[in-house]
Structure formats: C-alpha cells, structure tokens
Amino acid sequence: RELEEQQAELQRQEKERQVVLAKKKKQNEENAYLDEQKLDYAAVLDSIIQAENEAKDPNAVNDINTDGSKDYGMVQINERWVNKGLTSSGLPSFQLNNDPTSEYFGEPDPDYPKVQEYMSEKIPNWNMLSDEFRRQALFNPEINQGIGEILYNSRGLKPWSTADKVR
C-alpha cells in the first residue's frame, strides 16, 4: 500500500512537471514571435528576402499566386501595386482595395498612391509608362525594397504570403 501511494505521488509530480514544462514551452514560443509592429523594416528585410526569395535573385518572378497575379524582385512585390491597368491574367491594380478583411475594402487603397508617388520620384515619366515597363522597374532592388518598406510600414508583414516564416 505504501508503495502504491509513492507511485501515485510520483505520477502526480510528473504530471505537474509536464504541465509546467508545457507552459514554459508555450511562453517561449510566444516570446519568439516578436511584435512586428515594434520592428522597423530594416530589422525584417533580410528575413523577408530569405522567406520570399531564397536565391536572393533580383530578377525573380513568382507566378504561383492563387489569384493569378505575379510577384517580382527581391522582396516579391505584387505587380498590382505598380500596374495602372489589368494584369496579364486580367486582375485590376490595387488602386481599389480588394481585400475583404480590410477596412478599406472596395475603396481607394491608401497605399497605392504612396507607391505611385514613390515610383514617380524614382523614375522619370512614371505615369506615362506602360504596365510592362512598370513591372520591369520591380527588378531594381532599391525600388523593390522601397515599395516593400512602404507596404511594411503600413501593413506589417500581411502583404507577404510567407509572413509566418518571417515571424
């Protein structure tokens, strides 16, 4: 009987130990996910590039987006941020917000004009360029990362499909 009580006590202690370990593990995991709002773009840039463009190829084009659009360059900027018209697959630009979870859904997207203004500063006659030339501009690493910064500063990691890898 005494031996059974000792075994029961050991089992209880082991269960308590497992609960404590599980709580510590959960806390450590939560601590590992830094609040991205506290990190500036420079702090996450390398992680975005690693997750989105492992080869670090400034000419990378990802055409496997579920909506048929393409992502370009170092940080894989979606073509819809620079297009004036439709994409090659018929999608509209991001001039109007098409994210049903956004407070701006169906309204002019507040970041699209910021991207257009940035591009106008970087490339002469930006507003006169065809969408093909606009997409080509995304291969310039400085421009590509500059647009990435505009999006990150406004939306955090949400624009990147690999956000969970960056966190």
Q: Which amino acid, one-letter code, is at 73?
A: G
77 phi, psi to nearest 5 deg? -85, 130
Confidence of residue 86 (pLDDT cuts 50, 70, 90): confident
**Model confidence pLDDT, tens digit, residues 120-156:** 999 999 999 999 999 999 999 999 999 999 999 998 8
Encode pLDDT of 42-75 as tens digits.
Answer: 999 999 999 999 999 999 999 878 888 899 999 9
The residue count of the chain comes to 167
* Sign of the CA dihedral running 142, 41, 87, 110: negative
Q: Which pLDDT band, with edges at 50, 70 and 90, does 76 fall under?
A: very high
Structure tokens at 121: 């500063």
- E strand spans, the chain: 61-62, 71-72, 77-78
Per-residue pLDDT at 150: 97
Is pTM beyond 0.95 here? no
Edge-to-edge strand ranges of the sheet holding 77-78: 61-62, 71-72, 77-78
| Run of H or E residues at 135 | helix 131-137
Percent of the chain residues topping a pLDDT of 70: 93
**Of 61, 57, 76, 43, residue with least CA distance to 167:** 43
Burial of 156 (0-12, 13-18, 19+ CB in 10 A): middle
Instruction: Report which of residues 53 and 165 the model is more confident about.
Output: 53
Mean per-residue pLDDT over the chain, rounded = 88
Report the chain's C-alpha Rg in angstroms: 23
CB-CB neighbours of 51 under 10 Å: 20
